[in-house]
Structure formats: C-alpha cells, structure tokens
Amino acid sequence: MKKIYSFILLVVIIILFFRDCSIKKKEINIISNPNSLDVLVNKFNKLNSEYIPSDLILMPLKNSNKDKYLRKEAADNFIKLSNDASLLNYKIIIASAYRSYEYQTNLYDDYKEKYDFKYTSSCCAQAGFSEHQTGLAIDVMGSNNDYHKFDESQEFNWMINNCYKYGFILRYPKGKEKITGFKYEPWHYRYVGVKLAIFLHQKNITLEEYHKKKEIK
C-alpha cells in the first residue's frame, strides 16, 4: 500500500514540476510600443529599463499627494475626474503614479523581504513589468485616506461607475485574478483613453482580454 501511495506522490510531483516549467518558459515579450495608450504591461510584457515617458507632468496638490507625475493626457483627464468628484463632495486623489524602473526595483525587493513569494507576486510587479513605469497607472485614495481600503470609502462606487468616462479603467478587478496575474486592487486604475475605456467598461473585459481579442482578429 505504501508503494502505491509513494508512486502516486511521485507522479503528482512530476506533473507539478513540468507544469511549473512550462509556466516559467512562457516567452517574455519586450514592449516595442511603450508610448501607446493601450500598451499591455504585465508579467509577460516587459518595458525597457531605460524607458521614461517624455510627457510626464507634476500633478497639482489639489488632486494628488506630493511629487506625483503622470503623462499629460492621463493627468489632464484625472484632474477633470478629481475636480468633478469634488463638486459632489467626494475626495479622489492620487497616492501613487509614475514610478521609475529603479524605484520599482527597490519596492519589489522590500516586498520580498517582508512577504513570501506568492503574496509578493500577486500584488507587486518586478521592475519593467509594472504599469506605473508607463506614467498611465495610478493608485487612488478617498476620504478615508487609505488607498488599500479605497473600496470601503464613500468615493469607491462613484469611481467605479464614472472613471471610464474620463478614460480610466479598474485594472485588476475582482474575479479576473487568473487573467491579470494580480489580486483584486480596488485602488489601481489605468488610463487607456476615453474611447477604449468605454469599450472595456461596456464589454466588462480586462486589458489582457482586449489584447487577446486583437490577436485573434
């Protein structure tokens, strides 16, 4: 009986080993269109370490924490979003925006020191694989002043129901973790342009699913 159990265990180990190898061998694509508004940056699509958007602008303190930068089109549209929300007595400001390759390297290393690999991989991208380097991604917070608990703020429902009108999408939605490769992040939004944001909202699909459809076509 023990031999049977040992054999079954060996088979399971072999299957898991080859499955992990196939995952690790998935080709990493070096992004050739980093300036595109619909650029896909994830665990299999990497930005060059030297890439820095040429049109970054400093965000006003009215709409952001100190020293946060975004690409101009994304910045202009977020300012409109934040100001419109303010008219309704909502507070939606940026807690994190553009991050350099070097910044993301240090952030990922900090996560590795504090958490295990599985958790780190689910919520912190390695340098080059982070959307924040595009200058199009933002982490926002509301009136509860805690971006990790943005979905508990009074602003969250308004943001979810209106962000696409300004060109932003919830980048890592609940239930899509296996598609995006990241856990649900109610605070992380991505600028893709108004037209595409409306399309993604109407179809209820992620950026990964959109690019998959483009490949098929």
pLDDT tens, residue by residue, 147-191: 999 999 999 999 999 999 999 999 999 999 999 999 999 999 999
- Residue 216 is predicted with a pLDDT of 77
- 70: its two tokens: 């975004």
Burial of 32 (0-12, 13-18, 19+ CB in 10 A): exposed
Residues annotated as catalytic are 185
> How large is the average pLDDT for residues 65-93?
98
Name the architecture of domain 28-216: 2-Layer Sandwich (3.30)
pTM for the structure as a whole? 0.87
- 114: its two tokens: 């504090």
Q: 192-214, pLDDT tens digit by residue?
A: 999 999 999 999 999 999 999 88
Please report, to the nearest 10 degrees, the dihedral formed by the alpha carbons of residues 122, 124, 130, 136 taken in order. Answer: 100
Q: HSE on the CB side for 50, CA within 13 Å?
A: 1
What phi, psi does 25 have (nearest 5°)? -80, -5
Cα–Cα distance measured from residue 35 to residue 6, given in angstroms and rounded to the nearest whole number: 54
The domain ranges of the chain are 28-216
